[in-house]
Amino acid sequence: MPKYQNNKYFFINQEIPLPTSQYHSINHIFPSHLGIIFIGKILPSILTKIDFYINKIFNSFFYEILFIGETEIPSFLYESEIREEHNLLKQTSKKVILQPTNKLYNIIKNLMKDHNFNVGLGLTDLPLYSSNDKSLLFLFGESNINHQCALVSTHNLIPHFNEDSEYNLKVRNRIIKEVIHEIGHLIIGLEHCLTRDCVMRYSKIIEEIDSKSVNLCKKCQSKLNEVRLKNNF
Ligand SMILES: [Zn+2]
Ligand SMILES: [Zn+2]
Question: Any catalytic annotation for residue 182?
Answer: yes
Name the residues around ion ligand 2, CB cutoff 5 A: 193, 195, 198, 200, 217, 220
* 41 Cα: distance to centroid of ligand 2 (angstroms): 31
Of 85, 182, 191, 208, the active-site residue reads 182
Is the domain defined by 3-14+28-180 classed in CATH 3.40.390? yes
Reading the chain (233 residues) residue by residue, the pLDDT tens digits are 456 665 556 666 666 666 655 444 456 789 999 999 988 888 888 989 999 999 999 999 999 999 987 545 555 555 556 666 666 666 655 567 788 899 899 889 988 998 999 999 999 988 899 998 888 888 999 999 999 999 999 988 987 666 566 788 999 999 999 999 999 999 999 999 999 999 999 999 999 999 999 999 999 999 999 999 999 99
Q: How many angstroms does the Cα of residue 194 sit away from the middle of ligand 2?
A: 7
Please report, for the chain, the start and end positions of each structural domain, with discontinuous segments joined by +.
3-14+28-180
Q: Is residue 159 a contact partner of residue 170, using CB atoms and an 8 Å limit?
A: no
Q: Are 202 and 192 in contact (CB under 8 A)?
A: yes
Q: Compute the distance between CA of residue 153 and CA of residue 138 in angstroms, rounded to an integer.
A: 8
Q: What is the CA(197)–ligand 2 centre distance, in A? A: 8
